């Protein structure tokens, strides 16, 4: 059950169960004949038992004892004045604080009544999967190769390719300059670039950066919903070098009007920096012709239902903002708008977050009432794939690596992928 609770405040999600729905039937050619497997995302990735404030308190106690045992050193005085960004962030927090507090309490209590948020195991026997990823570097190397964008005349091929050929093989795939499609009803465990990845059913993806987005434009699809999680610039990312950040101004280069259908729902994950939120609302969306219709909040709680950070922490908040808008163009009609429900403001998505950096919960279930049943969906700056969605990014396969999954034999009889 991926949507555990749905109520007037929003939803409580089981983020791990949302992932697992796409891997109940997986094919692999490692065994002959084809093996029928069931994949489950490793549950220890969602075993966030303690709030970060409790962890910090413990670390502070250790540091305090260390300070007692060593000679005192003069410390530089910190300025107490807030800068304008901090003032704006505080004002925004005060505006939404009550809604987040009350809504989270209601959704957490409802989830507990259904048996969720009872805490996780005391210890995790298995460590988290390795976080090293070289996909972005491979994208850089691919720029020096001759791709479909550089081909002319009759030799130019389609901008989409099938993940598996008639024999169930993945040979001769150009992942960097063609959209790759898994058209099967089954997920597939396949070797790609010397590693093994699992590709969900009816998923399509392009592994590239800004410089090689043309195949996505030439893919021939317009989308009813576009979700994006930009690699926002901030000091933490710069220090950790977890991924390459992108200046906000560069986001205007995204060709969203060429990808969006009239009335397309555009959803952007935004950090809690006031300038990023202001940029999306006042610059980015107007630049594309997108009208802001709502702000939602992803609230992160532990396996016991506590905020992962104190709600009023001056440093980090236990929530992130999503800005939702509608793409308005000359072709937008009142009839297309009437087919979907209006988007309510200040809805909450509450879940236990992944311990893996930049691993957001899927929005596929909570967006359904607002995009229609047959919506064509796209995720930009994706780091994982979703069944039935098209995904683009320079780390689009990051969390599809088989090391993030556990495998068991499925109960259903094995079929050939071609039978689907």
pLDDT band (50, 70, 90) for residue 73: low
Question: What is the pLDDT at residue 144?
Answer: 73
User: Per residue in 223-243, pLDDT tens?
Assistant: 999 999 999 976 554 444 555
Give domain limits for the chain: 135-150+157-411
pLDDT band (50, 70, 90) for residue 273: confident
Secondary structure element (H or E) that encloses residue 327, with its range: strand 319-327
Contact criterion met (CB below 8 Å) for 195 and 395: no
Tokens matching residue 331? 């072709």
Alpha-carbon distance 221 to 224, whole Å? Answer: 10
User: Per residue in 346-393, pLDDT tens?
Assistant: 999 999 999 998 899 999 999 999 998 899 999 999 999 999 999 999
Q: Phi then psi for 199, rounded to 5 degrees? A: -110, 120
Weakest mean pLDDT among 15-29, 125-139, 303-317, 347-361 = 125-139
Question: What is the pLDDT at residue 172?
Answer: 84
User: Per residue in 45-56, pLDDT tens?
Assistant: 999 887 765 444
User: Per residue in 313-332, pLDDT tens?
Assistant: 988 999 999 999 999 987 66
Pairing label, strands 290-300, 319-327: antiparallel
CA angle 88, 229, 337 (to 5 degrees): 90
Pairing label, strands 10-13, 3-7: antiparallel
Share of the chain above pLDDT 70, in %: 79
Question: What is the pLDDT at residue 147?
Answer: 53
Q: Which fold has domain 135-150+157-411?
A: Rossmann fold (3.40.50)
**Which residue has better confidence, 379 or 144?**
379
Contact criterion met (CB below 8 Å) for 38 and 407: yes
Average pLDDT, the chain: 84
pLDDT band (50, 70, 90) for residue 76: low
CA angle 300, 390, 20 (to 5 degrees): 50
Is 50 exceeded by the pLDDT of residue 210? yes
Contact criterion met (CB below 8 Å) for 232 and 243: no
Question: What is the pLDDT at residue 227?
Answer: 98
Weakest mean pLDDT among 42-46, 95-99, 138-142 = 138-142
Question: What is the pLDDT at residue 123?
Answer: 54
| Partner residues linked to 162 by β-bridges | 181
């Amino acid at each position: 059950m991926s949507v555990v609770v749905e109520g007037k405040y929003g939803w409580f999600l089981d983020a791990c169960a949302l992932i697992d729905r796409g891997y109940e039937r997986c094919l692999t050619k490692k065994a002959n004949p084809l093996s029928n497997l069931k994949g489950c995302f490793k549950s220890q990735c969602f075993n966030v038992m303690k709030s970060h404030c409790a962890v910090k308190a413990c670390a502070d106690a250790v540091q305090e004892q260390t300070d007692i045992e060593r000679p005192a050193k003069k410390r530089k005085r910190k300025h107490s004045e807030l800068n304008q960004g901090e003032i704006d962030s505080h004002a925004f927090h005060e505006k939404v604080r009550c809604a987040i507090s009350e809504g989270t309490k209601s959704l957490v209590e409802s989830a507990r009544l259904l048996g969720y948020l009872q805490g996780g195991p005391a210890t995790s026997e298995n460590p988290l999967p390795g976080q090293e990823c070289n996909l972005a570097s491979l994208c850089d190397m691919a720029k020096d190769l001759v791709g479909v964008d550089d081909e002319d005349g009759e030799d130019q091929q389609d901008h989409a390719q099938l993940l598996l050929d008639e024999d169930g093989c993945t040979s001769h795939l150009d992942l960097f300059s063609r959209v790759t499609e898994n058209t099967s009803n089954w997920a597939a465990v396949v070797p790609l670039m010397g590693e093994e990845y699992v590709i969900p059913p009816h998923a399509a993806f392009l592994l590239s950066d800004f410089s090689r987005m043309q195949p996505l434009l030439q893919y021939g699809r317009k989308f009813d919903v576009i979700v994006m999680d930009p690699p926002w610039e901030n000091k933490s990312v710069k220090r950790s070098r977890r991924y390459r950040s992108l200046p906000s101004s560069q986001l205007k280069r995204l060709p969203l009007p060429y990808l969006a259908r009239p009335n397309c729902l555009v959803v952007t994950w935004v950090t809690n920096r006031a300038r990023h939120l202001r940029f999306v609302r006042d610059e980015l969306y107007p630049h594309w012709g997108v009208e802001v219709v709502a702000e939602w909040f992803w609230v992160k709680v532990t396996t016991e239902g506590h905020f992962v950070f104190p709600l009023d922490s001056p440093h980090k908040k236990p929530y992130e903002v999503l800005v939702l808008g509608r793409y308005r163009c000359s072709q937008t009609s009142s009839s297309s708008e009437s087919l979907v429900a209006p988007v309510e403001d200040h809805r909450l998505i509450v879940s236990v977050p992944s311990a893996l950096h930049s691993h957001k919960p899927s929005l596929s279930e909570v967006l359904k009432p607002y995009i229609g049943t047959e919506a064509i969906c796209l995720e930009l700056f994706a780091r994982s794939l979703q069944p039935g969605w098209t995904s683009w990014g320079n780390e689009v396969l990051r969390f599809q690596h088989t090391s993030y999954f556990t495998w068991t034999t499925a109960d259903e009889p094995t079929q050939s992928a071609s039978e689907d």
